[in-house]
Amino acid sequence: KPLPRQLCLSSDRHMEGPQRRPHLSKLPRRFRDRPPRVFAALAAGFGLLAILALSTSSDGRSSLGTAAFCHGASSHRSSRSPSKRSSCRARALRRLSPRRAARADGVYPEPRDGVNWADLGFGLTTKDTIVAVATCSRGGEWGQYSLEPYGPLQLEPAATVLNYGQSIFEGMKAYRTRKGRIVLFRPQMNARRLAGGAERLMMPPVPEDFFLELVSALVRANADWVPPAGSGALYLRPLLFGSGAGLGVGPSSEYTLVVYAAPVGEYFKSAGGGGAHMRLESDHQRAATRGVGDVKYAGNYAPCFLPQSQARADGFSDIIYLDESGRWIEEAAASNFFCVGQDGVLRSPGLGTILPGVTRDSVLQLARRLVDEGDVGPGSLRGVEAGRVSAQDALGSVEAFVTGTGAGLTPVRRLVCGHREARFECPGPATQRLRDALTGLQLEDQEDALGWLWDPFTDGVDAKPL
């Protein structure tokens, strides 16, 4: 009979079926003639010796290198060059259940049964998911990752991320389209922004092809958590941080990339169809001039908690920051700002101290295409400007909205600055036109003429069964 699965050792993640269950006839006669219990004991002993040999590196720390155990690991090599790959370690993991092994043969797993997709908000809606993990030493290269059930991470108290905040993150979504596909929206931009932030904080940039391979595998592993078309999305949160231990002020000796996922609904769910209520904030600044406001740096967000909670206690959905002069709009705590003036021009603050949002860039491109095509009718625009937008400009507009991966394109109903207040049609015709164009692409209601959709089942660098 085939060997018990838990006694099978393998270092090849692509071995399937009989390859993972060697038959006794292929073993030397002295083993075939032994009683099954004796053989099981011998195999277990050899397995223990292998684990001990592989789990201790030259410096005494636990390391599984490039080996994977059938009963306890699912590690993945990148197709990239193997140079310096030994410096990048994947964690030992539990094997994924067959239910999670989303196939890459054109069959997209159906949404999970028994989930009330309509009630999803924006949050950690479940922990019954799979995460991707990779590590890389300082001066090394990213080349291997692994998948494991969602759970706690192990960090030393002296980890650089805990002491000095060396950490950035990303936000991206996978959608189930009207055509039944599962797609990511412009993940290349997330990869480039993550790499730029890593360079700014002196962390090893994650190569774009490795990033796309990893997030594609993660989407396939969590495919049954992608909501039905139009009922939300699977939100992916890549984290890159200094995980090495060190007391002195300086870059970490080791770095960890973690990507986890959760199905989500509307970001401003309480706003519903009524739109968001926003307050312009001048007593606090989100980021300093010549600082890291243009980086998705974790430290940019915790200072937002206090003014944000105060605004919500006063009945607002969120706040929109003004610069240090109190005159020019920057962005909301977690989204970019847009307004449509009485002259029909769409305006959004220019880059510099604000985050170069993926959704922001998408809306600007879609709006410019509408203008260039001479679009007429309700919601038509006469121009698009990305530059300085004053609080007075915003309060004098006829429409306003915010954009972000989490927020999507959310109309603003009410905007307050001190004693001044503006109320807008919600959504206004231009806002609705742009939202329809954006969601139409994401859900494949219209042709992806711009090539913004990435299919993890066909476009992935290593789109093989998990």
What's the maximum distance between 2 C-alpha atoms anywhere in the chain? 90
Residues 128, 150: Cα–Cα separation, whole Å: 7
Residues 190, 367: Cα–Cα separation, whole Å: 21
Cβ–Cβ under 8 Å, residues 328 and 202: no
Residues 327, 311: Cα–Cα separation, whole Å: 19
233 Cβ contact list (under 8 Å, min separation 6): 173, 174, 175, 226, 227, 263, 264
Residues 86, 358: Cα–Cα separation, whole Å: 34
Judging by DSSP bridges, how do beta strands 182-185 and 383-387 pair with one another? Answer: unpaired
Q: What are phi and psi of 29, to 5 degrees?
A: -60, -35
Residues 263, 132: Cα–Cα separation, whole Å: 16
Residues 134, 89: Cα–Cα separation, whole Å: 7
Judging by DSSP bridges, how do beta strands 420-423 and 130-137 pair with one another? Answer: unpaired
Using CA of residue 65, residue 67, residue 70, residue 76, what is the dihedral sign? Answer: positive
143 Cβ contact list (under 8 Å, min separation 6): 77, 78, 80, 81, 82, 84, 85, 88, 210
Catalytic residues: 296
